[in-house]
A and B are shown apart, each in its own frame.
Chain A
């Protein structure tokens, strides 16, 4: 028996997913990762059923551009051997399955709470009593930060174990932002509510998450997108990337106390998000993407306006980067700080920009392209050092790359064409959508019931794995370098906590 192989944004009958025994399921999925480095797990979750839990594992094969889906039925009271003991990239998924359903693992190395969801299996677990790792030592001390941080950012708790100024270990506790999105996706029936929920998964990745939802819904409905719809989404994804990367460069300059860079990058973000407002009425693109619709046409006037915005943006952006990269005081903070090795990045299943700076070429735009990405022939940018400096350079490089895409797309506008009507979703389907948001790979999975209603919805933000990359990056660094390490990743709390 083999797993079923699907394309990105493809729907299949749920019944066509082959079911394995746990032993075979274990051997299959751990074997896939071990034998081919281009295969990684994009989602692994459980669906509660009357007679047990159905585990579904989705492995993306980046070479063949397919996703391999397999399943297994288990009883929650059985104690299972964990995938994580063999391959650490499964650790977060298994912790989540344990937390949601109470599934026990005999040999999981780090079976700790993930986000304290409201319907967690073990209600005695309280967020105020997270079981932090600690070392009993006279020399070492602990530093606790959060959940409320110094800046205007989201909440999360960081617990450092330090030897003087040096960080030996960092444990990140999340869950404060949990709003119950996955449950609400199943409880709500109206499309307008579902898409508003998808927009709120992470307010800095509105386009990324809403595109994933829209694609999954359209796939469930058998809807074929028009070129105009694809055009708008691709364009908006790249604009979002430019805006946030530029804002992050500003924040990185703030954290090394470089006022000029902070102000200049900060102000450069404004024309980009203001362009989104001119196009769609909202600076952070809320209300922009709707399944089966192209609400805001990209007119020739907007194309001219975009060229104007980018022509003004580019020289100032490049000038500021040139100055930043030639500044010894900036480089001494960035270089060799917060290193994530290639081995660690691939072992923990890091994705997106953070993985690419550590030499792991993962980018959905190339490996599982959707919308207009097949035409753009995106070339994955990879760096080797995995330090803060690489992540700074990566941001700059990706901004320049995205500007190129926007310019070439704006020179070749799609013609107006009628959009087919969106029917209701099909019954008993499974669908999966992958989108490369600015942080990295976003994966949504949906399962419909006997009336075409959503019975399960699973969201995986790139931060799900990458938080661990941050925890590894700061080891052996000075604690004063934590802010720039953190900012260089800029991970999502709400996208993780859901």
Chain B
């Protein structure tokens, strides 16, 4: 769960970088999207190490595998834990648990539902909320011109970055990185930085579209 989680955090940072290409203009954004798919004249990313168009499928395979393994390990651990928990306390006071840590499980399920919606909108049925797949920026603009779409993404991204906040810390702790109380504060600090960078980086573009800056 730690390894697949970190793969997905790395992906989110890359995804965010790609989104910000829209600030360089629609052509730059579309070129980047086609380049990832190997549909540009230079053969796209990693060409000629990989034949044009292979990278995107390998990348998708790794990501889907990460998502599946992540959910599978989470689900099997949750089920095992549920079976082993004692009866509930009548009175219970938490001393250390954060809101992000408490919402990892249900938050994760909601994020998975959001992910399905997000993939339908931009990948599986491209243009299902306006725009066309040949010019990817038109899908983005058509989607985020709707205030409710921006609101939906704003809420979903809060869930995502909360999941990332506890997940980043927890993944490194699971992998043995929490070596001292100082390491704990460094890891937690980094987790906060990654979460804030992701939120700002992902939301600034839809907001710019909504307010007509782009």
A binds B: no
Residues of B bordering A, CB below 8 Å: none
Binding site for B on A (CB under 8 A): none
